[in-house]
Amino acid sequence: MQVALIGATGFVGAAVLNELLERGHQVVALVRDPAKLAARAGLRVVQADVMDAQAVQKAGQGSDAVLSAYNAGWSNPNIYDDFMRGSRAIVQGVKAAGVQRYLVVGGAGSLFVAPGVQLVDTPEFPAFIKPGASAARDMFTELQQESSLSWTLLSPAVGFHAGSAAQAQGRTGSYRTGSDTPLMQTDGQPGDISVADLAVALVDAAEQNLHVRQRFTVAY
């Protein structure tokens, strides 16, 4: 496949880039600073601002799928507005490029922990990540209204983060899947997964055309 990848220099996006290239796909990486990506076989780097739908359209044309690991930056004081603006521009650009398949990494905050209750709305949810998590939830709500795209949204495990214990496992190629509720460990603790295996799950979904117009979640 030829895949346009957004967010290739980030924590999740870098793992997705590596997984795509290791599987022999041709990747067009849309980045603000091309100097952040070293030359690799199968990789073409395009300087583009995801806030610019026309730039996304131009870079995405001719791709079989667009994969997005876009994040507006957890330390960004305007993360909610920037995330929503960027996400909307990406969707607009993907549609304008004529690409049907769009896979996006969302957040765990939109998973349901009780009927009608999403994780991001619980009292225990960390306040410092709530604006970004709320944006990811609202992006998913908007994505569900998109009828012209064959979209898929991947919500990471609730325990997933850059410093989580599962990161030490690296790439195993194994994972469990769920849909709208969190996957838990056998001891009742929130599920976790390495970023490498999160990337495996996303690329599997792209290659096998899984979870079309659905959200799925993964954990060990």
Instruction: Specify the pLDDT at position 127.
Output: 94
Give the strand pairing for 176-178 and 214-219.
antiparallel
β partners of residue 219:
176
Instruction: Specify the pLDDT at position 72.
Output: 94
Going by pLDDT thresholds of 50, 70 and 90, the confidence category of residue 216 is very high
Instruction: Specify the pLDDT at position 78.
Output: 96
Count the neighbouring beta carbons within 10 Å of the beta carbon of residue 200.
Answer: 23
Average pLDDT over residues 5-19: 97
Instruction: Specify the pLDDT at position 1.
Output: 97
Q: What angle do CA 95, 98, 100 make, to 5 degrees?
A: 75
pLDDT in tens, 111-156: 999 999 999 999 999 999 999 999 999 999 999 999 999 999 999 9
Measured CA distances, 214 to 28, 98, 102, 146 (Å) = 25, 20, 11, 11
Instruction: Specify the pLDDT at position 119.
Output: 97
| Average pLDDT across the chain, whole number | 97
Tokens 């590596």 correspond to 18
* Residues in contact with 60: Cβ distance below 8 Å, sequence separation at least 6, in sequence order: 4, 28, 30, 66, 93, 94, 97, 99
Q: How many domains does the chain have?
A: 1
Instruction: Specify the pLDDT at position 79.
Output: 97
User: What CATH number does the domain containing 98 carry?
Assistant: 3.40.50.720
Instruction: Specify the pLDDT at position 141.
Output: 97
Average pLDDT over residues 40-61: 97
Going by pLDDT thresholds of 50, 70 and 90, the confidence category of residue 164 is very high
Residue numbers of the domain that contains 187? 2-219
Of 126, 116, 134, 127, which Cα lies nearest the Cα of 180? 116
Going by pLDDT thresholds of 50, 70 and 90, the confidence category of residue 92 is very high
pLDDT cut 70: percent of the chain above it: 100
Going by pLDDT thresholds of 50, 70 and 90, the confidence category of residue 203 is very high
Instruction: Specify the pLDDT at position 23.
Output: 98
Give the strand pairing for 43-47 and 65-68.
unpaired
Query: How would you classify residue 155: left for phi > 0, otherwise alpha for psi between -120 and 50, otherwise beta?
Result: beta
Instruction: Specify the pLDDT at position 166.
Output: 96
Instruction: Specify the pLDDT at position 153.
Output: 98
The DSSP element (H or E) to which 88 belongs, if any, is: helix 79-97
CA dihedral 90, 82, 123, 220 (to 10 degrees): 40
Q: What is the pTM of this model?
A: 0.96
